[in-house]
Amino acid sequence: MASVLSLASTTKTFRIAVVGVGLVGNEFIKQLLAFPAPSPFRLVSLSSSKATVFHPDGLSVSAASWKDELASSGRKPDLQVLLRELAALVKPGQEVVLVDNTSSNDVAALYPQFLKFGVNVITPNKKAFSSELSLYESILAASLESGAKFLNEATVGAGLPIISTLKDLVATGDNVLKIEGVFSGTMSYIFNEFSTGKEGGPSFSSVVSVAREKGYTEPHPADDLNGADVARKLTILSRFIPPLRTALPNGYQSVSTKSLVPPQLEGIESGDEFIKRLPEFDAQFDKMRADAAKEGKVLRFAGVVDVQAGIIKADLEKYPVTHPFATALGGSDNIIMFHTERYGARPLVVQGAGAGAAVTAMGVMSDLLKLV
């Protein structure tokens, strides 16, 4: 990553368009506008789902004024128009960057076009990198053709250096044998509270309910409990490992995934109704916890990429009470272990807060600095 000192001497300028101004977008804009002078960054566009503003030489906004500026704009967002506007700014000595802070499939589908026209793409949006292989291949091809980069550190582990660590391992010729980890902050919290290795404990439904109240789950907890978020992250990582790059043709849907949503509740559209009915299934989860405790183990929802065996799975696993997944985790932490030829006897471990707007935005900001 470029140091702040080295940025002062850069001759490049960076025209930045931000799409998505929710929790992560808001925090990213705050970090961008607080960057020390002289800053090479010029914020040229802001887009919400309802409005957009654009000025090729940079918007005259501050951390206190940008929301009003956007709200007072009468211009509706149009991704194709934005694509043309940003493409026109690409020239030697002037980099253009699309920062996509949405979780939109529509924006993700346009990454190949932005890249083809020389616009760099930075995003915490998992969709483009965990969907069908054809979109991912298009992104790679467009980046190769134009030289524009795509950076997506914050798609796995928020601000934790998961993707950059994996890329460095691969680029320096290490052989990745296996990656395993607790990749979901939501699932981490739920099972840290529910399964401690001791007999008994709170009911599964009560832990999920508290997690929802604390804002750790999606509004509909089934969106976390179905394991799809972990499957997406495993897809993203596996595609950076050469032997597995084409292993998941349908992206996350090709990952072997254990859903913790009881089959009887799968059709429920309301998160409130789901929480109301979840206690009907507490006995099943109690038994799983009790069985694990008898073996001196805890339950953890883990993701595994086993390169040697060709297995990519998201599942509820049992780990000894002495295992780092049992002893090192607190709250909504993520923990990821890289087993490689170089890190053979003891895996390389990355651990820390894996969720939250501030750390996710930090991951996005750190990607932006890698362009400098």
- What pLDDT was estimated at residue 5? 47
Instruction: Using CB atoms within 10 Å of the CB of residue 170, give its burial: 0 to 12 exposed, 13 to 18 middle, 19+ buried.
Output: middle
Q: Are residues 106 and 179 in the same domain?
A: no
| The 3-state secondary structure of 47-74, one letter per residue | ECCCCEEECCCCCCCCCCCHHHHHHCCC
Residue 7 lies in a domain: no
Known binding-site positions for NADPH:
102, 126
Q: Are residues 237 and 281 in the same domain?
A: yes
Q: What is the CATH number of the domain that holds 98?
A: 3.40.50.720
For 272, half-sphere exposure in the C-beta direction (CA atoms, 13 angstrom radius) is: 0
Rounded to an integer, what is the distance from CA 225 to the centroid of its chain? 17
Residue 1 lies in a domain: no
Residue 5 lies in a domain: no
Q: What is the mean pLDDT of each run of 10 residues along the chain (372 residues)?
A: 53 94 95 94 97 96 94 95 98 96 96 98 97 97 98 95 97 97 95 93 97 88 96 98 96 97 95 96 97 96 96 97 92 94 94 89 96 94
- What pLDDT was estimated at residue 134? 97
Residue 109 lies in a domain: yes
Domain range for 143: 13-158+359-370
Q: Are residues 229 and 348 in the same domain?
A: yes
Known binding-site positions:
20-25, 102, 126, 218
- What pLDDT was estimated at residue 216? 86
Residue 133 lies in a domain: yes
Q: Are residues 172 and 187 in the same domain?
A: yes
Q: Are residues 279 and 338 in the same domain?
A: yes
Q: What is the CATH number of the domain that holds 301?
A: 3.30.360.10
Cβ atoms 21, 29 nearer than 8 A:
yes
Q: Are residues 341 and 220 in the same domain?
A: yes
Q: Are residues 336 and 366 in the same domain?
A: no
- What pLDDT was estimated at residue 2? 54
- What pLDDT was estimated at residue 177? 97
Sign of CA dihedral 72, 73, 74, 79: negative
For the annotated catalytic residues, the residue numbers are: 233
- What pLDDT was estimated at residue 9? 56
Q: Are residues 47 and 143 in the same domain?
A: yes
Q: Are residues 133 and 254 in the same domain?
A: no
Residue 97 lies in a domain: yes
Known binding-site positions for L-homoserine:
218
**Count: domains in the chain:** 2
Residue 69 lies in a domain: yes
Instruction: Using CB atoms within 10 Å of the CB of residue 223, give its burial: 0 to 12 exposed, 13 to 18 middle, 19+ buried.
Output: middle
Residue 154 lies in a domain: yes
Q: Are residues 151 and 192 in the same domain?
A: no
Q: Are residues 223 and 106 in the same domain?
A: no
Q: Are residues 66 and 120 in the same domain?
A: yes
